[in-house]
Structure 1
Amino acid sequence: MQVAIVAQRDNDRTAGLAADIRDRLREAGVSVWLDDATAGRLGVDGRAVEEFGAADLVVSIGGDGTFLFAAHGAGDVPILGVNLGEVGFLNPVRPGEAVDAVLAQVRQFRAEGSLRTRSRPRLATRGDGWTLPPAVNEVVVQGRRRGHGGGAELTVRIDGSEYARGHADGVLVATPTGSTAYNLSEDGPLIHPGVSGFVVTGMAATRGMPPLVVDARSTVSVSVDEGTPAVVVVDGRIREPVDPPTEVTVEIGDDPIRTVGPTSDFFEALEKLD
């Protein structure tokens, strides 16, 4: 079995926990990779996260940002999220329980040859001649800058029917997982993880563009109209500049993230948003 570990950067505590998990796994006869940054902090050789798609399990130690970083490298490899003492939406395992939680997955893999996983949807995004990596949280189509003099002229269509048109800082499309993140800061609604759908939220729209939850089978198209250039951003990390006129299509993709281990209580995790 091959386990890969990603820890929050520039954090001695997470690096130390990564080392503890690595050592216990090696004692159990498991091969372990550490991400480059964590390995460097521990003075050993590491691997690029982009290589972690070849592992059997990825362990993410840190906050949601670390999980997103791990997810973009892991592909469809199952991920076990370890938090820093505060229950998160993506990281339900507490630090003191991390070693046992990882070893439980090793026993599961050895007994059955696979892991029992849960799926969370990711968003697929494409445009004129390009596609972007799947989004765990959200896809944003926005002007190159926000506020006065920024934004873009946008038209939003749901399954081909026009929903909204006008000037806005941008349009945000979020999964249920992402509804608790950037979407919430833009006054979008929370979506329970059991809901089969995703949300479209306008960002400082000059005309009416109330948030809209759509069916998981829907296709959202955002047209960038007239002369203002825009940018498409995936999970706050990956950016694709676009020039008008152009259309960006967002829908639930075929590649969900897969998680393992205990689940977090959605309503308990909401408390950290207060």
Structure 2
Amino acid sequence: MNVGIVAQKGNSRAAYLAADMREALAAVDAEALVDDATAEQLGIDGLPVEEFADCDLVVSIGGDGTFLYAARGGDGVPILGVNLGEVGFLNAVSPDDAIDAVLDVVEQIRADEPAIREVPRIVARGDDWELDPAMNEVVVHGPRRGHGGGAGIEVRVDGSLYSGGHADGVLVSTPAGSTAYNLSESGPLVHPGVEGLVVTEMAASEGMPSLVVPLDATVTVTVTDAEEAIVVGDGRTRRTVEPPIEVTIEQSDSPVRLAGPTSDFFEALGKLD
């Protein structure tokens, strides 16, 4: 059995916990693989996170950003998140409980009885391109935020017009991503048990309120009146496109698979600034 471990970059506490976890896994005949950055910190051999897709389990140690990074690398592999004291909507396990939680999941997988739950991701597409699936949000915006930087925006849901006009951009988020960029744009908090997507316009001149649509809805964002537009997934993967262009955003057929205990959504809300 192979367990990939991704620790928050530059965080010595996360790296030391990864080292302790490696020893505990070796004691139960499980091989622990660590990402390149953590391996360098520990003075051992590591692997690119993209190679963790061949693991049986991936452990993320850090915050939600580390979790999203691990989820992209270990695409389709069950992921257990260890929270190092940040908001922790995706990371349900405390450092003190981390090793026991990982060993429990290893035992479940070996018994072919893993307690796995799926969290949806979304994907943005153009005529001849597609971004990697995003767990939090996809943003489509003009060349820059602020005065003079927006674009003409038209938003449709399953082909029906919802809003149109000038705006900095449009943000489409999953329930998991409602507490991130969406919240900063005055979008609503959405409980993770809700099967829907949130459509939020960004600094629209005559915009509509945020809209929650079914999880299987297709959202199209047409961008005009700008020299360029940018499509961003989870703040990391991006593509610059030339208007006029229509960007389609819909549920990916590749959800994130979560292992281990669930986080308390309302307790995590208490950590928001």
Please tell me the TM-score bracket, short chain as reference: over 0.9
Query: Does the CA contact (< 8 Å) of 1:141 and 1:172 recur in 2?
Result: yes
**Which residue of structure 1 lines up, in the alignment, with residue 148 of structure 2?**
149
**Which residue of structure 1 lines up, in the alignment, with residue 105 of structure 2?**
105
**Please, which runs of 5 or more residues in structure 1 have no aligned partner?**
none
Q: In the TM superposition, what is the alpha-carbon distance from 1:131 to its structure 2 partner?
A: 0.5
**Which residue of structure 1 lines up, in the alignment, with residue 43 of structure 2?**
43
Query: Does the CA contact (< 8 Å) of 2:63 and 2:87 recur in 1?
Result: no
* Partner Cα separation in structure 2 for residue 61 and residue 270 of structure 1: 20
Partner deviation per Cα, 1:214-243 (whole Å, 9 max, x = no partner) = 011210000011343110000000110010
Distance 1:17 1:169, change over 3 A: same
**Which residue of structure 1 lines up, in the alignment, with residue 161 of structure 2?**
162
Partner deviation per Cα, 1:239-266 (whole Å, 9 max, x = no partner) = 1001011110001111110001111111
**Secondary structure of 2:250's aligned partner:** strand
* Partner Cα separation in structure 1 for residue 35 and residue 122 of structure 2: 25
* Partner Cα separation in structure 1 for residue 77 and residue 101 of structure 2: 17
Query: Does the CA contact (< 8 Å) of 2:3 and 2:30 recur in 1?
Result: yes
**Number of aligned residue pairs:** 273
Q: In the TM superposition, what is the alpha-carbon distance from 1:106 to its structure 2 partner?
A: 1.2
Partner deviation per Cα, 1:165-210 (whole Å, 9 max, x = no partner) = 1111110000000000000000000111111111000000011221
AA of the residue aligned to 2:162: Y
1:134 and 2:133 are equivalent in the alignment: yes
**Which residue of structure 2 lines up, in the alignment, with residue 79 of structure 1?**
79
Query: Does the CA contact (< 8 Å) of 1:71 and 1:79 recur in 2?
Result: yes
Q: In the TM superposition, what is the alpha-carbon distance from 1:144 to its structure 2 partner?
A: 1.8
**Which residue of structure 2 lines up, in the alignment, with residue 19 of structure 1?**
19
**Secondary structure of 2:81's aligned partner:** strand
Partner deviation per Cα, 1:63-120 (whole Å, 9 max, x = no partner) = 00000100111111000000113561100100000000000011112222x5220011
* Partner Cα separation in structure 2 for residue 227 and residue 217 of structure 1: 30
AA of the residue aligned to 1:138: E
**Which residue of structure 2 lines up, in the alignment, with residue 206 of structure 1?**
205
Instruction: Give structure 1 regions of 4+ aligned residues with deviation exceeding 6 angstroms.
Output: none
Instruction: Quote the sequence identity (%).
Output: 63
* Partner Cα separation in structure 2 for residue 71 and residue 65 of structure 1: 10
Q: How does 1:247-266 map to 2 (within 5 A)?
A: 247-266=246-265
* Partner Cα separation in structure 2 for residue 184 and residue 87 of structure 1: 14
* Partner Cα separation in structure 2 for residue 224 and residue 85 of structure 1: 39
* Partner Cα separation in structure 2 for residue 109 and residue 88 of structure 1: 24
**Secondary structure of 2:85's aligned partner:** coil
**Which residue of structure 2 lines up, in the alignment, with residue 118 of structure 1?**
117
Query: Does the CA contact (< 8 Å) of 1:159 and 1:219 recur in 2?
Result: yes
Partner deviation per Cα, 1:20-39 (whole Å, 9 max, x = no partner) = 00111011110111000000
What's the TM-score, normalizing by structure 2? 0.98
AA of the residue aligned to 2:211: L
Distance 1:266 1:156, change over 3 A: same
AA of the residue aligned to 2:65: G
AA of the residue aligned to 1:4: G
Q: How does 1:174-213 map to 2 (within 5 A)?
A: 174-213=173-212
What's the TM-score, normalizing by structure 1? 0.97
AA of the residue aligned to 1:55: C
Query: Does the CA contact (< 8 Å) of 2:3 and 2:33 recur in 1?
Result: yes
**Which residue of structure 1 lines up, in the alignment, with residue 5 of structure 2?**
5
